[in-house]
Amino acid sequence: MTRCEMEPNYTETAKIVHDHCGNTYHVHRLTKQLARKNQMQLLAIHNIIPHVHWEDSNLLADKSLSGDPYVDKWKLSFMITRDDGKVIGLLIAYLRDKSVTHPLRAIYIHRLAIAPHYQGNGIGSSLLISALEDYPRILPDISTFTVQTNDEDSNRKVISFYESIGFKRFLPVRYPEKLDILMQLSR
């Protein structure tokens, strides 16, 4: 097993993964109740993502600022914790319909972040792969997954991370102040 691979086991409440050092982590479905309970830890981790800052209301929102619903957000989102329950990562996703900037009906990875101290050990890969493995059971009619990230040179490591999981560059998304890239994975 390489440094970045983790071996999953399962319990009734969480998927258990181990890193290359044998440390145990737990992947939990992120319900709204768990998000409320752990909101300070989740927001601290989320807010390491460049160009975005969330408050409590953003984390717990069921729709975007423009009013678009985050369909099935609480079915499709996950967090990862240490054995002692400390949150070390999050993945927020929802079912996104076709639009001008998103021409696919897909499970959209809205946010993915791992606490800095835990980055580089395969925990983010394990969290994302775990979610991708669960999605066909949660929404069996959806086989396309998307993520949008900025397309700056400073973000090449993030783009390479998604490409290593199998995501492909799909569509540039232009904003007045930046250029993003929509990436796609189909199963």
Helix residue ranges, H only, the chain: 32-37, 39-46, 56-60, 73-76, 123-138, 156-165
Per the CB < 8 A criterion, the answer to whether 95 and 71 are in contact is: yes
In the block, tokens 């984390």 appear at: 59
Is residue 77 in a domain? yes
Is residue 157 in a domain? yes
Per-residue pLDDT tens listing for the chain (187 residues): 343 444 444 344 789 987 777 788 999 999 999 999 999 999 999 999 988 899 999 999 999 999 999 999 999 999 999 989 999 999 999 999 998 889 999 999 999 999 999 998 989 999 999 999 999 999 999 999 999 999 999 999 999 999 999 999 999 999 898 899 999 999 8
- Number of neighbours of residue 19 by Cβ within 10 angstroms: 19
In the block, tokens 């990230």 appear at: 149
Is residue 3 in a domain? no
Is residue 110 in a domain? yes
Here the CATH number for the domain that contains residue 172 is 3.40.630.30
- Per the structure, the complete domain to which residue 177 belongs is given by 9-186
Per the CB < 8 A criterion, the answer to whether 93 and 73 are in contact is: yes
Is residue 1 in a domain? no
Partners of 168 in the β-ladder:
184
Structural domains in the chain (count): 1
